[in-house]
Structures are given as C-alpha cells and as structure tokens.
Chains A and B, each alone.
Chain A
Amino acid sequence: MKAIPLSYIARNLWVRRVTTLLTAGGMALVVFVFATVLMMSEGIRATLVATGQADNMLVLRKGAGAEINSGVSRGQAAIIESLPGIATDGNGQRLVSKEPVVLNNLPKRSNGKPSNVTLRGTSPLALALRPQVRLIEGRMFRPGTSEIVTGRSIANGFIGTGLGETLRFAQRDWIVVGVFDSGRTGFDSEIWGDAEQMMAAFRRSAYSTIVFRLADQGALPALLAAIDADPRLQIDAKPEIQFYAEQSEALATFIRYLGLFLSLIFSIGAIVGAMITMFAAVAQRIGEIGTLRALGFRRTAVLIAFLAESLLLSLVGGLIGLAAAASMQSVDISTTNFQTFSELAFQFKFTARIAVQTLAFALFMGFVGGFIPAWRAARMKIVDCLREA
C-alpha cells in the first residue's frame, strides 16, 4: 500500500497554522502538567536516593520505618558500635554516627508560615560518613557547644537559619556557624548540631538512628547475622540507599498518581480539541480526499494520512509542552514529605524516560483525537467527495 506523502500532511498543518498552534497549545498544556508531575516525582526520588551512601548502613528501632519514630538506646548503640565489619578512619576510629533526629517548627522566609524542619544531632564523623556534604559558608559546629550548621535549602528558606543568625529551640539559643551543601540531597533540608547537646536539650535518652560504614560489602551477611543473633538488638539494619529510597516512595507515588489522574482528566479536553480540529480538516478537504482516492490512493492511505496529521499535531504540542517542562529543571521547590513529616527541598528532574513517556502520552492524545475523523475521511465515497469539491 502506497502512502500519501508526508509533505502533503505537514504542509496542511502549516497552512492552518493558527488552528494548528491553538490545538497544539492545548495539548502542550496537558503535556506540561503530565511531564512536570513525573519530573516532580522523579525529583523527590532522586533527591532522597542520592542522600544515601552505597556502603553506609542505617539502623532503626525494629518496625520504626522512619527516623522520627525510632529509638535506639545508648546500650544498643554501644553494641552496634562494637559489631564486626565496621570501617575505621585513618585514626582507627570506627565510622559510626549515633544521631538523634527531632522535628522543629520554623517560619519560612517567603511567607512567615511555619513548617517542620529536621534537626539532626551528629558528630564530626558525619562528614566522613557523608562525603557529599561540604561546608560552603562558615565552619563546622564544635562538639559540646550550642552551635549548628544548616543545609543550603534551609538557610535560603527559613528565618534565622542563615550564617551568623541565632535560632531558639529547646529552650536554648543556637548559633548558625556554617552552611553546608550536600549536592541536592535530603541533607540540604536539615540542620545539624552536636548529638550530645541535642540529646540534652531535647531530653532524649535514646538516639533515633545509628549510621555506620561497612569495611566491605562482604562483611554485611556476618554483620546482619550478628544483629539477628543478639536478642538485645531489636533493630532493623538496612543499606542507607534503601532506607532513603523507601522514604521517597510514598510521596513520589502519591504525586505521580495524583498528577497522572489530573493529566488524564485534562487530556479529555485536549483530545476533544484535536478531534474538532481534525474533523474541520476533513471537512475542508473533502474534494482533496476524493481526488486522492480517484488517483488510486486506497482508503487505508487516507486513514493513515489523516491519522499522521493528528499525530504530527500532537507531536508539536508534545514537544512544546516538553520544552516548557524541561525549563522547570532550574526551579527549586519544597514540600512536606509525609513519611517524615518534614520539609524536603528538591528540583524537577528531567530524564530520557520521562521524555519518552510524555511524547507517548502526547501521541496517544493525537491518536485518539484523530482516529474518528480519519476513519470518516477514509469511509467517504469518491463520487460524494468529488461532488462536494
């Protein structure tokens, strides 16, 4: 079966460029929503997954699920610290960080409204365990003091968290002595201070989490076996990457499903728009359809030509929407991760997979919108078409 040339299809769209652009614009808006939702979901996932380090293990109370509702006693922490297979630093010190994690309500710089921020008590070893974290202003807090360092997103987004400013919580004043950047990971949305000072200030007797570095991956089975064998350790130990991936799952999935549902609703409007445009295209070109058929082009060639025109129209809309969505990558946003109840800053993340999914969605709209008009065009009788020419 010989096809009607693509130049005929494309130029017909160009001839009706105002209608084409308006219809493609409607599709572009839907595609934009679709793509940004996927980018948002991917951004949350990427931010939290990148927060974990491949050879770090994270320990929580058994069944806790999140740091905020976990509790690891000092006794349990001491046992964990002495487990075999834990890496040491150059000084022979075991790379273990025992961390209380507390939520604190701070007002936002943008509107003064309060939002939960994660406070993490840690030690200078935290920097060795999280090499992605680097100070960009000031210095690290000194152990045994009420000094804190703040993540880049927190320093930018919350009142009193900039370098040299003072925050008051847990009945103390805390001086911000440094701002750190963790490479767009979840730590950018945290405030760090000395673990023991935070434990005292918040009157905690247990840590929330223990993080340690494995000497090598081969040590993991023996270490997990040792934890299981010790009845005092009612804990869950898992790779840090896995933990943060799980932390992103609920929010990312919720946003993705909500966004896809909205996109599907909006897409009905875009499909109807494409359908109206294509019905108008068929009505304007009845004579041409008759001529093409008389010359020997088959019904399927006409069907494919009009369907291709609709798909091309949707591709234009898809590319416009995709380009607009891609420009969102430079935008920083934050939301509350309802798994941790704390603020999480992230960026829209554009991936090749999202580009393919988005264009497929745009082409789906074009196909559904174009099929009935194309079918009608193909079913018309030649003599009727020529009579109406």
Chain B
Amino acid sequence: MNPRARLLLGALLAVLLLLPAFASNYVISVATLILYFAFTGQAWNVMMGFAGQLSLGHSLYVGVGAYVAAAMFVNLGIGPWLGLWVAILVCMALGAAIGFLAFRFGISGVYFALLTIAFAEFTRVGFDHLQWTGGSGGLFLKVAQREQMDLLNFRGPPAMYYYAILALAAGALALCAWLLRSRAGYYWQAIRENEEAAQALGINTFRYKMFAVLISSAMTAVSGVFFAFYYNNLFPEQIFHISRSIEIILGPIIGGIGTLFGPVLGAFVLTVLADGITELLALFGVEVPGVKQVFYGVVLLGVVMFLPNGIWPSLAKKIGVGK
C-alpha cells in the first residue's frame, strides 16, 4: 500500500468513526446498511474474487447464521456471543459439505453455482417447516430498547450496531489484505486463473478451495448473526431467497471482483444511489414498487458494458493508489 492509499484509508476511517457524532439516525442506518453489504460482499469475494468459486447461494450462510444465533437467543436464552460461535461452526460445516460434494466430484463453474443455489433453496424450504424456529411465520426477537445499551445481549442504540458492523467491515478488509499476501492468497488466485496449472505447481487445489469456502462461510455467518440482532425478525422466504444472494454479490461485482476495496465501494455506490432514487421519487410523490431492482439492473448493465473489471480498478488508477 502506498502512502497516498494509507492516507486516504486513514481519512475514511476517521470520518466513519466520527459519523455518529454529527449524523442523523437516518444517515447512520444507511451507513450501517452500506457496511453490512461491504462486509458480506467481502466474505463472498474471498470465494469468488480470490479463489474463483462462484457461489450464488450465499444467503444460505446469512440465513443459517442468523437463525442459529436468533433461535438460541429466543428459545434457549443463550446470548449472541456464544450463539455467534455456534452459527460460525454450523455454517462452516455446511460450507464444508457443499465444498466436499462439489470439489471431490469435479463440479465446477456454473454447475457449482447451481449447487450453491440448490442448497440455499432447500434450506429455505426446510426452515419453512421447522416449527422450532417459527416455520414460515418467522422468528422474532424482542425489539431493542433503543436508549439502553446491553452489550451482553447485543441490544442497544443504532450507533452500537453501526460501530459493530464498522469493526467487522474494517476487520474483514484487514483480514483479506493479509490473506491476499499470504501463500493461500497466491494459491487461490492461481486456482482462479488456471486450476490445472495451479495443480502442476504443487498446489493441493481441493484443500485450498475448501479453505476459501470455510473462510467465506464463517465470515458470512457472522454477517447473518448481525442481521438477526439488527433487524429482529427473520422469515425463511426472505432471508434465504435468491434475490438476497444476488444483493450480496452485486456490490463486489460493481466495485470490482477480486479487489480488496471493490466490495466496500460497490456497497457504497449501490446503497446510496438506490436509496437516493427512492427518496427522489418520493419527493415527487411517485412511488414505484421494484424501482430498486430496476436500478440495480441498470447499474449492473452500465458497469458490465463500460467497466468490466468494476469501478474500483479504474478509480484506483485515477486517484493514484494501488490495488
């Protein structure tokens, strides 16, 4: 990282740290959403951007992570700090199962993506009928006392959630930066670029693909736990839906797949613009359902046509920072 990049990143972090001091609750909620997508996109990026394994079913890990921690909290009275670890372990086991099935039997590319969708879909159907978590009727957490901060149960004011997700997003960025410069990071990129050549250079491709899936599913589980305790309600139809998976991957695609800062930038661009358009239309008294989806489509089209590598690589060049 060059000095300029260091400076810009420091400035960004300072602004984000001070944000709750001067911003309204609305701004904080938008910023929380951006950071949530930045963090989850980063998790997906480990699998697809670094190791080249396309998952179109990441809602599986968000959903299972959310449900595990929430159900433990609601049904058993076990707090999120323990639930978090259980959620991570369960999601890693799921990721390991999918990865093992796919990589052991040579399922790759589009077929691997289909497998990930299938797992997310039948988990959705399963949760629809799982009465312990409320079935299709949903699972609800008691809404937090906004004024009181209860760190032990992760209930509190918006700023608490904001700082939690900020820490997660920053931590994920640092973790990914470190991973990318490690042997595993180089091996992942080699597998992404040409698996046969990677294997000929002594890389146990099965092991390293599994490693990518495990890290990605663990990180996504964390984002699921955050989701559950931030939104307080979970419905299988929503959380496991494929549109949720698509939402997760749009950020990194638009920002720049495989780049470190792409998921962050993509999350920012998408969330701010989508919210902005909704607000703008509301200003004129127009309320069009689905305008967000149309907008996502248009942005995706534009990026694919004009910036096929995403926004970040060309922006990084312009402002003179490295990848």
> Are A and B co-members of a single complex?
no
